[in-house]
Amino acid sequence: MELTGKRVLVTGADGFIGSHLVETLAAAGCDVLAVACYNSFNSWGWLDTLPAETLGSVEVITGDIRDAAWTRSVVKEAEVVFHLAALIAIPFSYRSVELYMDTNIRGTVNILQAAGECGVGRVLMTSTSEVYGTAVYTPIDENHPLQAQSPYSATKISAEMMAESFHRSFGLPVVIARPFNTYGPRQSARAVIPAIITQVLSGERRIRLGALHPTRDFNYVRDVCKGLVLLAACDEAVGRRVNIGSMSEISIGGLAAMISELAGAGVEIVTEEERMRPEKSEVERLVCDNSLMRRLTGWEPETSLRKGLSMTIEWFREGGNLERYKARLYNI
pLDDT at position 206 is: 92
What is the β-pairing status of strands 215-216 and 250-251? antiparallel
Does 273 share its domain with 228? Answer: no
pLDDT at position 328 is: 84
Does 279 share its domain with 177? Answer: no
Tens digit of pLDDT for each residue in 115-135? 999 999 999 999 999 999 999
Does 164 share its domain with 264? Answer: no
What is the pLDDT of the chain when averaged over all its residues? 97
CA 316 to chain centre: 19
pLDDT at position 280 is: 95
Residue 46 lies inside a defined structural domain of this protein: yes
pLDDT at position 332 is: 86
| Three-class secondary structure of residue 198 per DSSP | helix
- Could you tell me which residues are beta bridge partners of residue 269? 207
Does 175 share its domain with 264? Answer: no
Residue 43 lies inside a defined structural domain of this protein: yes
Tens digit of pLDDT for each residue in 255-292? 999 999 999 998 899 999 999 999 999 999 999 999 99
Residue 327 scores a pLDDT above 90: no
Residue 331 scores a pLDDT above 90: no
Global pTM value: 0.97
Residue 299 lies inside a defined structural domain of this protein: no
Tens digit of pLDDT for each residue in 182-230? 999 999 999 999 999 999 999 988 999 999 999 999 999 999 999 999 9
CATH of the domain at 99: 3.40.50.720
Tell me how far apart the alpha carbons of residues 88 and 330 are, in angstroms, rounded to a whole number: 16
pLDDT at position 119 is: 98
Q: Is residue 42 within 8 Å of residue 50, measured between CB atoms?
A: no
Does 166 share its domain with 212? Answer: no
Does 83 share its domain with 209? Answer: no
Does 153 share its domain with 257? Answer: no
- Residue 178 phi/psi, 5-degree rounding, is -120, 85
- What is the sign of the dihedral through the CA atoms of 183, 190, 65 and 62? negative
Q: For a pLDDT cut of 90, what percent of the chain falls above it? A: 96
Does 211 share its domain with 224? Answer: no
Tens digit of pLDDT for each residue in 28-38? 999 999 999 99
For residue 135, the enclosing domain spans 7-183+218-244
Catalytic residues: 152
Does 234 share its domain with 264? Answer: no
Q: Which burial class, exposed, middle or buried, applies to 52 when counting CB atoms under 10 A from its CB (0-12, 13-18, 19+)?
A: exposed
